[in-house]
Amino acid sequence: MPGVFVVVAVDAQAETLRLRDEGGRTGIVHVNADMFDLESLKPGDEVEVDFLVPGHGSTRLEAGGLWKVQR
């Protein structure tokens, strides 16, 4: 299920976002640069993320879809 998260940090070079959920937990999410322009995001922005199911033995969080929430 997609969820809404707050952007804490953006690393466009590494193609990652640090996101915070409503409970205050944070995590690094890998985003394919062809899917979304990470340089258009800044800390405090809200994004909706649909995660990919990790492959066997993988603990890496990857976005399958990413949308900026417009408020």
Distance CA 58, CA 61 (A): 9
Question: What does the pLDDT profile of the chain (71 residues) look like in tens digits?
Answer: 679 999 999 999 999 999 999 999 999 999 998 999 999 999 999 999 999 988 888 888 999 999 999 87
Which pLDDT belongs to residue 53?
A: 84
Which pLDDT belongs to residue 39?
A: 94
CB atoms within 10 A of CB 11: 12
- Tell me the one-letter amino acid at 18: R
Which pLDDT belongs to residue 9?
A: 98
Whole-angstrom Cα Rg for the chain: 11
- In sequence order, the 6+-apart residues with CB closer than 8 A to the CB of 39 are 10, 12
